[in-house]
Amino acid sequence: MITILDYGSGNISAIKNIYERLNISFEFAATKEQLQRADHILLPGVGAFDETISTLTAKGYFGILNQKVLEEKVPILGICVGMQMLADSSEEGKLDGLGWIHGRVKKFDRNLIPDKPKIPHLGWNSIEIIRDCPLFKNIDPEIGFYFVHSYYYECADMSDVICKTQYGTYFHSAINNGNIYGVQFHPEKSHENGIQLLRNFANL
């Protein structure tokens, strides 16, 4: 059962449609009680870092998330800002992140990006897989994924990086430590690669 955390951020209907197509069980969690039942957790995300962290705090999710992820080792996948929340901090805001995979979220340097529109990084881009990971089984790195973001994750430890992508500079586009996974792109907008990745997550 995939539990999609509904905290008012992200295109959760698109994720719902993919799991329905794959005939994989899922539910939306809008309460702490629903989150408590999760055996896989998906953190969708479209929005600002501080706003999203504040919403999670206001809903009282942090304690349960730490219990499920750090103690029970439930697999979790953060998408876009859902991934960025895994960091220690972000240049986009002032609040602390979850700090589960050490690193900092940084803003793209416009001076390094030759083509316009420069920011956000918008559209399809390929990935370069750095290490094997079951989340990326049967993924075509040349086709890549669909991105929409102005900030990127810089991991403190390269062993936590699954793949990187070039946009003016190389940035870490997917990360993993144990049961914790994050992707900067949007699998729900990435056609067959995205469908395969969401299937892979369900099989972890």
Q: Catalytic pick from 40, 92, 155, 188?
A: 188
Distances (CA, A) of 184 to 27, 79, 118, 122: 23, 6, 17, 12
Q: What crossing angle do the helices spanning 191-202 and 12-22 adopt, rounded to 10°? A: 70
Q: Catalytic pick from 40, 80, 92, 172?
A: 80
8-state DSSP, 23: T
d(CA 154, CA 184) in angstroms, rounded, equals 11
Q: Catalytic pick from 92, 155, 186, 191?
A: 186
Contacts of 71 (CB under 8 A, 6+ apart): none
Structure tokens that stand for 139 in this block: 């993924």
Whether 40 is catalytic: no
Other Cβ atoms less than 10 A from the Cβ of 39: the count is 11
Whether 172 is catalytic: no
Four-CA torsion 152, 50, 9, 27, nearest 10 degrees: 100
Dihedral angle sign, alpha carbons of residues 154, 155, 158, 163: negative
Contacts of 141 (CB under 8 A, 6+ apart): 126, 127, 128, 129, 163
Give catalytic residue positions: 80, 186, 188
